[in-house]
Amino acid sequence: MHYDATGKNHGLRHDPFKALVGPRPIGWVSTLDDRGVRNLAPYSFFNAVSDRPPMLMFSSAGTKDSLRNVESSGEFTCSLATWDLRDAMNMSSAAVAPAVDEFALAGLTPADSRFVKPPRVAESPAAFECKLWRTVPLPAPEGASSPGYTVVFGLVVGIYIDDAFISDGRVQTGQMRPIARLGYMDFSMVTPESMFSLNRPIASDDGLTAELVPGPWDGVYR
C-alpha cells in the first residue's frame, strides 16, 4: 500500500504511523504544579536529542498537565519505564484531574532529585533531571478544533543510575529491562538476549570506500 499521510486515507482500521516508528522510548515525566502537587505521565514521543550537552525532548498532544507545569516551573524529570513497572506506568497515563497525584495513584514512591524540585520515581533504575530549554509548538492538522503537539526540550542537569546496574564501567541496559512503545496498545522490552553490538565502518584515507570490522564492538567510538 502507499497512501497520502496528510489525509490519513490509509483505509486501515487504525492509523499505522506509530506502528512503523518504533519502538519508541518512554519518557516518564514528573512535574510539580504551582501548589506543589506531583504529576507523573508517560510520553512515547520522547528521545534524547543531544549528548553534548545532554538534552531530551518529549512531545505533548494538546496542553496537558505536564506541559503546563513545565512551562510554569521550568523543570521536570524523566524516569526509566521498565518491565517491572509496566502496570504502574500504564496507570499513571490515566486522564485524571490535575489535583490527583499519579505517584499515589500508581503506588509509586517519589524520590527527591538533587538538582531540580520535581521528584523521580524511586522504583525506577535510572532518571534524568532536566531544566526547560525551550518549547516548540507544532502545526495542528488542517481543520483541527484542538491544539496540536508541543515539543518540550530539556537540558539534563542531573542523572541518577542505580549502582546495581553498573558493571565494569558500563550501564547494563538489558538488565534494567526498559520497555518501549510500539503502535496501537503494543509495547516491547529490551533484554540482554535482544541486544547486540556492531563496530562502525572505517572509512579509507581518501574517503571513497569503507570497511567493516567483524565481531562485536571493540570499545572504540569512531
pLDDT in tens, 161-196: 999 999 999 999 999 999 999 999 999 999 999 999
- Pairing relation of β-strands 170-171 and 75-80? unpaired
Task: Judge whether 124 lies within some domain.
Answer: yes
Domain contains 183: yes
Predicted confidence at residue 187, as pLDDT, reads 97
Of 7, 46, 42, 17, the residue nearest 184 (C-alpha):
17
In a domain, residue 168? The reply is yes
Give the per-residue pLDDT at 219: 84
Residue 214 predicted with pLDDT over 90:
no
> What's the pLDDT score for residue 104?
98
CB count in 10 Å sphere of residue 181: 22
Considering only residues 104 and 6, tell me which one the structure prediction assigns the higher pLDDT.
104
What is the reported pLDDT for 6? Answer: 81
Residue 109: what pLDDT? 98
Residue 128 pLDDT greater than 80, yes or no: yes
- The three grid cell numbers given for residue 192, joined into one nine-digit string: 540482554
Any domain includes 221: no
Residue 208 has pLDDT above 80, yes or no: yes
Whether the predicted pLDDT of 8 surpasses 80: no
41 domain residue, yes or no: yes
Give the CATH number, domain containing residue 78.
2.30.110.10
C-alpha torsion angle, residues 193, 44, 187, 174 (rounded to 10):
20
Looking at residue 213, its pLDDT comes to 82
pLDDT at 55: 98
Model confidence over 20-49: pLDDT tens digits? 998 999 999 999 999 999 999 999 999 999
Any domain includes 222: no
Does the pLDDT value for residue 63 go beyond 90?
A: no
Angstrom distances, CA of residue 78 to CA of 1, 90, 112, 160, 207? 37, 15, 13, 10, 40
Indicate the number of domains in the chain: 1
Q: What gap in Å lies between CA 183 and CA 53, rounded to an integer?
A: 31
Q: How confident is the model at residue 59 (pLDDT cuts 50, 70, 90)?
A: very high
In this structure, is residue 22 part of a structural domain?
yes
Supply the pLDDT for residue 154: 98
Q: Is the peptide bond before 118 cis (omega within 30 degrees of 0)?
A: no
What was the pLDDT predicted at 141? 78
* Top-confidence residue, 176 or 5: 176
Mean pLDDT in the chain? 94
Give me the domain span that covers residue 148: 17-211
Q: What percent of the chain has pLDDT over 70?
A: 99
Q: Provide φ and ψ at 137, rounded to 5°.
A: -70, 135
Provide the pLDDT for residue 146: 72
Q: How many CA within 13 A on the CB side of residue 209?
A: 2
